[in-house]
Structure 1
């Protein structure tokens, strides 16, 4: 498996893992009758701060997957994974780090670190988009 495909699989898997964790905790809350089955909001606003952060970390992955995953998929479909391979695992690591920091804390220092991890992803995404666009334009 090349790095782009591996990182894309990792991104999707990380997003799924956060969802499974959230739904596992929600299931426990329903089973213990701490929350009614219909008592959840999408952002977990009525639950613990950790659950609220977990919902947001999962939503961040869902928001980023079409953009960053889309760029990886485009490079694979175009037969140009060499454009994304070198930074694919860096992007995945930055995504996982962003999520873990989000789960850990919302202190000013943590938010700054979390943004740094997101900034890495944005920079990689912009770089990939530019390279992919230049490649398309060069083929004309």
Structure 2
């Protein structure tokens, strides 16, 4: 049976993959329709729509944070310490999904503040997990 930690780690990976697939499907559609040349799409989608730029950044943010937060989950899973991460695992995943969704929707000052709050929740959980795993309790 999968623990909340396993589900959260898999969910984080799946969400990161979903954002990448969505971005590549949209890019492919733009190329096939002749709206942009395949070799003219920078990694940050700078020459594409504001939504595509936000999508690239939301995906990049997941990629940037997956090794740290996912790594902590993986350590807990590998060492049999999911009792330390399970209680907050779904909170971490929920905050990650929420942060990405807000990022995709808007970059207004309010949206950026809300997005940061979701990120701060993830950071707090990560610090707590790191300290708990290091102390063994």
Q: TM-score range by the shorter chain?
A: over 0.9
Superimposed CA distance per residue, residues 50-98 of structure 1 (whole angstroms, 9 cap, x where no aligned partner)? 0000000000000010000000000011111000000001000000000
Task: Give, in angstroms, the shift of residue 44 of structure 1.
Answer: 0.3
1:36 paired residue number: 37
Alignment correspondent of 1:83: 84
Q: CA–CA distance in 1 between the matches of 2:112 and 2:119?
A: 10
**Number of the residue aligned with 1:10:** 11
Cα RMSD over matched residues? 0.7
Kindly state the Cα deviation for residue 19 of structure 1 after the two structures are TM-superposed. 0.3
| Map of 2:104 onto structure 1 | 103
What is the CA–CA distance in structure 1 between the aligned matches of 2:10 and 2:90, rounded to whole Å?
11
Question: If the length of structure 1 is used for normalisation, what is the TM-score?
Answer: 0.96
Q: Deviations over 1:6-47 (max 9, x none)?
A: 000000000000000000000000000000011100100000
TM-score w.r.t. length of structure 2: 0.98
What SS does the corresponding residue of 2:36 show, helix, strand or coil?
coil
Where does structure 1 differ by over 3 angstroms across 4 or more consecutive aligned residues?
Answer: none
Kindly tell me the number of residue pairs found equivalent between the two proteins: 136
The alpha carbon displacement at 1:133 in A equals: 0.5
Pairwise mapping of residues 121-140 of structure 1 onto structure 2 (< 5 A)? 121-135=122-136
Task: Tell me the distance in 2 between the aligned counterparts of 1:49 and 1:37.
Answer: 18
SS at match of 1:84: helix
C-alpha distance in structure 2 between counterparts of 1:5 and 1:59, whole Å: 22
Give distance in 2, aligned partners of 1:122 and 1:55: 21
Q: Deviations over 1:81-133 (max 9, x none)?
A: 00000000100000000000000000000000000000000000000000001
